[in-house]
A = this chain, B = another copy of it.
Amino acid sequence: MFLSTTINGVDAKGRVSVPAGFRAVVKNDPEEKIYVWPSFEGGYLEGGGQALLDRYLNLLEEMDPYDDARAAFEQTIFGDTRGLAFDGTGRVTLPKDLIEHAGLDSKAAFVGLGSRFEIWNPDRLAERKANARDFARENKKSLRLPPRTGGGA
């Protein structure tokens, strides 16, 4: 499970250390890689392991083959997704276009979100985090825990 937020340096070659905890998640994937694509919602990157890609694939399989939305999602998500392999010390090299999309300069923030993660310019992240926290606080009542199995109503 991808957890917590870690800020690592991006060097002149576009290399960045993937947090050790994140590497551990994909450790047993057939291809030891992370998969990253530019978010179509904003200037940041989304990513995950093989399991996440499989889930998206299954979601799309259930849509109508000639649905316009399906084509759009396929194009947007899979079309721009890169599989990034680790070097000997656990780093990946981010392609230029991804770096530009996320507006990364010297630092990159890896944000764990359970089954997936995001990569942000730390400054942009701080902004969005404040918004998300306010939203969460105002809407916390909608985040109710489901009853525990076997537990009373």
Contact = CB atoms under 8 A, between A and B. Distances in A.
A29 interface: no
Given A59-B143, A75-B132, A3 B113 contact: no
Interface residues of A, number: 55
Nearest to A83: B3
B132 A71 contact: yes
Nearest to A131: B72
A23 B17 CA distance: 28
Interface of A: 1-5, 21, 35, 40-41, 53, 55-61, 65-66, 68-69, 71-83, 111-115, 128-129, 131-133, 135-137, 139-140, 142-146, 148
| 3 A-B pairs with the lowest CB-CB distances in the bound complex, closest first | A76-B136, A72-B135, A75-B132
